[in-house]
Amino acid sequence: MANIRIVTDSNSGITQAEAEKLGISVIPMPFLIDGEEYFEDINLTQEQFYEHLRGDAAVSTSQPSVASVTELWDELLKEDCEIVHIPMSSGLSETCHTAQNLAREYGGRVHVVDNQRISVTQKQSVYDAMKLAEMGKSAAEIAEYLTATKFDSSIYIALDTLKYLKKGGRLTPAAALVGSILRIKPVLQIQGEKLDAFKKVLSAKQAKQEMIGALRNDLTTRFAQFRKDGEMTISVAHTDNYAEADAFRRELEAAFPDVTVTYVDPLSLSVSCHIGPGALACTATRTLK
């Protein structure tokens, strides 16, 4: 991949240390915490983030600055290369649209992919891009593949609490109160573009059953041929909930013995700030063979 440089953001879950080993670049996502700006994996660790969140700090997401993006591109383009830039889904942030607008000034040397993914699914897109680059594909060909396969993934997320949806204005106080009284645990989904409701359950056990059922439906319907061809993988993500996530991994391996379970990773902090700690997620993602 000598003439291709891969760029993503920290929503992919790829750390700065991992990026250095992989030979790619990761733009840290900025967060405002009680009015102060932090950058993921630079001066804000996962542990610090959840400490702020549990302490009821005012936490919000922001876009990377134009300068942080263009300065990185300019530095990479000093070499004879092209850039494939894989940001988080445009359905969840304006980050992608901003990068696409900036790329117009680079004469076709920067290809920004609206891959409609985040967290472990976005991470897989980065790995697919790396593999395509190693196969000798051009930046345009890599971007074309990632765009064509952008909807070949699903994410299901079981929340531990309604508190953070209410705090972020995504749930009315009345609905949150009713949910708390009834101990309702929502299961959300990301099918490419947006974070949407999927199911309402009464326990973590039921939530896992619903998510396994959702994966089973996806793998036997719209992903059936990909599964048959050995192109599907399952991953687990969580928000400060590793022990439960690892146990869930074992359940998924038992439920789908023919599908590889790849990662057990923290969920993107850009999603975590809206759903809070204790969440559990699973994904089904088409991967490049």
Last residue of a domain, one of 115, 133, 148: 148
Same domain (yes/no): 89, 103: yes
How buried is 196 (Cβ within 10 angstroms: 0-12 exposed, 13-18 middle, 19+ buried)? exposed
Span 174-217, pLDDT tens digits: 344 334 544 678 898 888 667 788 888 988 899 999 999 999 99
Q: What pLDDT does 214 receive?
A: 97
92, 119, 148 - which closes a domain? 148
Q: What range defines the domain where residue 129 resides?
A: 4-29+64-148
The two three-digit tokens of residue 160, written as one number: 């531990």
User: Are 140 and 163 in a shared domain?
Assistant: no
Q: What is the pLDDT of residues 132-186, one digit of tens each?
A: 999 999 999 999 999 999 999 999 999 988 788 766 554 444 344 334 544 678 8
Query: Would you state the pLDDT for residue 173?
Result: 42
Domain count of the fold of the chain: 2
15, 140: one domain:
yes
Alpha helices in the chain (DSSP H): 16-22, 46-54, 66-76, 95-103, 120-134, 139-148, 163-167, 173-182, 204-220, 224-228, 242-255, 269-275
Residue 183 lies in a domain: yes
Instruction: Point out the domain boundary residue: 122, 148, 174.
Output: 148
Structure tokens at 91: 């359905």
213-265: pLDDT as tens digits: 999 999 999 999 999 999 999 999 999 999 999 999 999 999 999 999 998 99
What six digits make up the tokens of 85? 């830039």
**What's the CATH code of the domain at 238?**
3.30.1180.10
